[in-house]
Amino acid sequence: MYTERLRQVRAKSELEIPKDVQVEVIGPVVKVTGPLGTLSKDFSKMRVNIEKEGDKILVQTDIKGRRGKAMVGTVIKKISNAIRGVKVPYVVKMKLAFSHFPPTVRVQGNTLSIENFMGERTPRKVTIPPDVNVEIQGQDITLTGPDIDSVTQLAGSVETVTRTKERDQRKYLDGIYAQSKGYEDEPER
């Protein structure tokens, strides 16, 4: 945890806070509140000093060179993503592909269950983070949430758990794959 004063500021950057979002800085923890809810980011493992000055957030570090600039840039981007996420949700659209056995995907509580994948009897399961919404319509799966990290982590976990192993990848294309990613207000890529 980096709570002491910086010896010498080597890299710094600032971020402007929009009017419809409240940001609270409590030591290394940044709490962002907006129309879609509240996100909290903990930067205690990074050697940065975060301060709120009026309608701006100032991030500084005493690490010199490219490493210091990269660390400050990472913290600024994480806070920026949290600010944007509490205003507009992040969406990942996934597609279910199969050629041999039709799998069944369903949500059971906080678990995403993939049954009959490659003809297996045991279902493959992924835990859904609390702030992510999962919608299933036929072969399309939509993951939505304010936190870009938890939405993309769930998408990656779903892709990983449905990876086919020890089979010819040209013939067995079965799996669940990310089709598009982005915020709801921007065009699909």
Three-class DSSP category at 179 = strand
The pLDDT profile of the chain, 189 residues, written as one tens digit per residue, is: 454 556 677 788 899 999 999 999 998 999 999 999 999 999 999 999 999 998 999 999 988 899 999 999 999 999 999 999 999 999 999 999 888 788 899 999 999 999 988 888 889 999 999 999 999 999 999 999 999 999 999 999 999 998 877 777 767 778 888 999 998 877 665
| pLDDT value at residue 101 | 83
- The answer to whether residues 96 and 78 belong to one domain is no
26/96 Cα distance (integer angstroms): 43
- Whether residue 100 is contained in a domain is answered as yes
For the record, the structure tokens of 80 come out as 């920026």
CATH number at residue 109: 3.90.930.12
- Domain ends where: 85, 107, 125? 85
- The answer to whether residues 80 and 97 belong to one domain is no
Total Cβ atoms within 10 A of residue 165: 7
Q: pTM (2 decimals)? A: 0.86
- Domain ends where: 85, 102, 124? 85
- Whether residue 189 is contained in a domain is answered as no
Domain count within the chain: 2
| pLDDT value at residue 118 | 82
32/42 Cα distance (integer angstroms): 11
| pLDDT value at residue 64 | 87
**Contacts of the segment 170-173: beta carbons below 8 A, 24+ positions apart:** 171/99, 172/99, 172/100, 172/118, 173/97, 173/98, 173/99
- Whether residue 2 is contained in a domain is answered as no
- The answer to whether residues 81 and 153 belong to one domain is no
- Whether residue 165 is contained in a domain is answered as yes
Q: Lay out the sheet containing 22-26: strands in order across.
A: 22-26, 29-34, 37-42
22/29 Cα distance (integer angstroms): 14
| pLDDT value at residue 3 | 47
126/24 Cα distance (integer angstroms): 32
DSSP H helices in the chain: 66-85, 148-161
Domain extent for 62: 11-85
| pLDDT value at residue 188 | 64
- The answer to whether residues 138 and 165 belong to one domain is yes
- The answer to whether residues 49 and 75 belong to one domain is yes
- The answer to whether residues 127 and 75 belong to one domain is no
| pLDDT value at residue 173 | 75
